[in-house]
């Protein structure tokens, strides 16, 4: 497929008459198997190949896409993009396409993932269903295998080719009012164990029997890694330098300052071979190690190519997530405070005040109350309100950083005075 993508790119390079262009070609091979109510309900296996061309005449831009790669289709792609650009208004934030860069050597994705067959996926799902049936419960979820190739070419000399493969599995088990979910994605299927996931699911499920209602208020929480990654997605979404400089987020004037807790360190890394790191971004910026936050000090913030060029800095975006951990286990965390709750997951996270970095959300997949170093019983879910950077200042302990997604490794966190503002009936 790389050869076909390269031929198309060469054709665009020879025939595009615009002052500038950026061509993105993507090839994907996706396999999805869904299951619900203890039965496989859907299987999709397909390949897609498409090209997206952005062109510019001076600072008038246009774009078009195509999923056929014969010469006539590629000519039409060029024609449509160029005609749109000629008719368009000038773009005041137009940025010339990226120049040539030296890229890291491509590390081919795991063969165990690329060659994964549907028979193996179905066999693992059958184990999940059997486990649920033995508990007189229902299980639903999805298994996904994805392989992709990307080619990026610009008029100004950038040429890059990259590959990615990943496998993910998620499942929810439900019986009566008890419901809990586990999920995992990884680059190497050889390191995936359905038995470990079933064991984790069963542990959560059994711990949630007969949940009790608990009063709202501030209390210590142990956020397991799946809960940590959920709020991190929203922190990253708003972690933007232009918005900070324009005064629309909480980070105005805070670069280089201690704004988060001193136990909180956040990086994107190309050195951890288990964490997926693309060779380059969608705009052609080579990825490299980036310290975003070190012991609570803001070192770098995300900036796109336009804004980086405007203020004369290097552009950068979060391409994977590594949160530095420690060696405190969950049992030890429970002994560090008199009482508290363990959170399996968070959801329905929404902003309250973007400039304060204040968010609200719900707990899900089970909440456990502990006291005197031991879990006592499950409790119903809470609504919470938190200011994310202030929350990190109340971190009392960190567990080891563990891979929870193919591109994310985070620790469990013991956080003091977590703000529960309401209780739910489920």
pLDDT digits (tens, 9 = 90+) for 408-419: 999 999 999 999
DSSP label at 396? E
Degrees to nearest 5, angle at CA 219 with 322 and 236: 25
182 and 233 belong to one structural domain: no
177 and 237 belong to one structural domain: no
pLDDT at 262 over 80: yes
Q: Residue 54: what pLDDT? A: 98
56 found inside a domain:
yes
DSSP label at 255? T
148 and 250 belong to one structural domain: no
226 and 144 belong to one structural domain: no
Q: Helix or strand or coil: residue 327? A: coil
Degrees to nearest 5, angle at CA 5 with 81 and 30: 100
Could you tell me the strand order of the sheet in which 39-57 lies? 60-66, 39-57, 20-36, 138-154, 159-175, 178-186
pLDDT cut 70: percent of the chain above it: 100
State the angle between helix axes of 2-15 and 71-87 in degrees (0 to 180), rounded to the nearest 10: 50
pLDDT at 425 over 80: no
The mean pLDDT of 157-161, rounded to a whole number, is 97
In contact, 409 and 279? CB cutoff 8 Å: no
Distances (CA, A) of 113 to 19, 123, 164, 279: 41, 16, 10, 19
* Cα 11 from chain centre: 34
252 and 347 belong to one structural domain: yes
258 and 196 belong to one structural domain: no
Task: Give 424's pLDDT tier (boundaries 50, 70, 90).
Answer: confident
180 and 307 belong to one structural domain: no
For CA atoms 270, 161, 114, 171, the dihedral sign is positive
Which CATH number do you get for residue 8?
3.30.2290.10
341 found inside a domain:
yes
Instruction: List all residues 6 or more positions away from 68 whose beta carbon is below 8 Å from its beta carbon.
Output: none
Q: Residue 177: what pLDDT? A: 86
167 and 260 belong to one structural domain: no
Last residue of a domain, one of 200, 222, 242: 200
424 found inside a domain:
yes
Last residue of a domain, one of 134, 165, 200: 200
DSSP string, 107-176: -PPPHHHHT--HHHHHHHHHHHHHHHHHTT-EEEEEEEEEEEEEEEEETTB-EEEEEEEEEEEEEEEEET
Q: Minimal CA–CA distance to 116: which of 44, 30, 36?
A: 30
Query: Tokens for 296?
Result: 């609570």
Tell me the pLDDT tens digit for each residue of 349-375. 999 999 999 999 999 999 999 999 999
Tally of structural domains, the chain: 2
205 found inside a domain:
no
- Average pLDDT of the residues of the chain: 96
The mean pLDDT of 37-54, rounded to a whole number, is 96
Residue 330 has φ and ψ, to the nearest 5°, of -65, -40
Tell me the pLDDT tens digit for each residue of 6-41. 999 999 999 999 999 999 999 999 999 999 999 999
162 and 241 belong to one structural domain: no
Query: Tokens for 214?
Result: 């608990």
Instruction: List all residues 6 or more positions away from 14 whose beta carbon is below 8 Å from its beta carbon.
Output: none
The mean pLDDT of 330-351, rounded to a whole number, is 97
- CA 296/CA 303 separation, integer angstroms: 20
Q: Minimal CA–CA distance to 361: which of 374, 376, 343?
A: 343
Q: Residue 359: what pLDDT? A: 97
Question: What is the rounded radius of gyration, in angstroms, for the C-alpha atoms of the chain?
Answer: 24
Residue numbers of the domain that contains 53: 2-200
Report the b/e string of 378-399 with b at 16+ CB within 10 A. bbbbbbbebbbbbbbbbbbbbb
Query: Tokens for 149?
Result: 């190739």
229 found inside a domain:
yes
25 and 164 belong to one structural domain: yes
Last residue of a domain, one of 200, 220, 236: 200
pLDDT at 166 over 80: yes
175 and 297 belong to one structural domain: no
221 found inside a domain:
yes
Task: Give 194's pLDDT tier (boundaries 50, 70, 90).
Answer: very high
pLDDT at 207 over 80: yes
The mean pLDDT of 385-389, rounded to a whole number, is 97
330 and 419 belong to one structural domain: yes
61 found inside a domain:
yes
Q: Residue 270: what pLDDT? A: 97
Tell me the pLDDT tens digit for each residue of 211-259. 999 999 999 999 999 999 999 999 999 999 999 999 999 999 999 999 9
């Amino acid at each position: 497929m790389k050869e076909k993508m390269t031929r198309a790119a060469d054709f665009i390079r020879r025939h595009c008459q615009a002052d500038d262009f950026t061509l993105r070609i993507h090839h994907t091979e996706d396999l999805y198997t869904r299951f619900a109510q203890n039965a496989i309900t859907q299987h999709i296996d397909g390949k897609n190949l498409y090209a997206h061309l952005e062109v510019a005449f001076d600072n008038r831009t246009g774009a078009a896409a195509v999923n056929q790669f014969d010469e006539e289709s590629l000519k039409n792609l060029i024609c449509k993009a160029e005609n749109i650009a000629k008719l368009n208004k000038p773009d005041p934030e137009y940025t010339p396409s990226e120049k040539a860069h030296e890229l890291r050597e491509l590390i081919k994705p795991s063969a165990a993932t690329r060659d994964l067959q549907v028979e193996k996926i179905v066999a693992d799902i059958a184990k999940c269903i059997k486990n649920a049936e033995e508990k007189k419960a229902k299980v639903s979820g999805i298994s996904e295998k994805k392989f992709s190739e990307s080619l990026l070419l610009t008029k100004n000399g950038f040429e890059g080719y990259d590959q990615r493969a990943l496998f993910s599995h998620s499942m929810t088990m439900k019986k009566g009012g008890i419901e809990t979910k586990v999920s995992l994605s990884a680059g190497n299927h050889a390191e995936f164990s359905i038995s470990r996931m079933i064991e984790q699911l069963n542990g959560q499920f059994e711990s949630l029997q007969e949940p009790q209602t608990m009063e709202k208020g501030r209390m210590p929480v142990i956020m397991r890694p799946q809960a940590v990654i959920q709020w991190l997605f929203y922190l990253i979404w708003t972690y933007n330098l232009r918005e900070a400089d324009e005064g629309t987020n909480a980070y105005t004037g805070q670069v280089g300052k201690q704004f988060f807790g001193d136990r909180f360190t956040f990086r994107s890394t190309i050195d951890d071979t288990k964490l997926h790191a693309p060779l380059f971004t969608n705009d052609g910026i080579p990825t490299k190690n980036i310290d975003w936050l070190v012991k609570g000090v803001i070192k770098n913030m995300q900036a796109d190519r336009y804004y980086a060029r405007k203020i004369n800095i290097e552009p950068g975006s979060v391409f994977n997530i590594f949160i530095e951990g420690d060696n405190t286990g969950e049992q030890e965390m429970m002994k560090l405070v008199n009482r508290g709750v363990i959170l399996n997951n968070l959801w329905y996270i929404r902003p309250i005040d973007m400039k304060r970095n204040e968010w609200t959300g719900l707990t899900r997949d089970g909440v456990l109350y502990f006291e005197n170093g031991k879990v006592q019983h499950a409790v119903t879910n809470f609504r919470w309100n938190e200011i994310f950077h202030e929350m990190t200042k109340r971190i009392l302990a960190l567990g080891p950083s563990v891979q929870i997604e193919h591109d994310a490794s985070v620790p469990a966190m013991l956080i003091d005075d977590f703000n529960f503002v309401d209780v739910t009936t489920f």
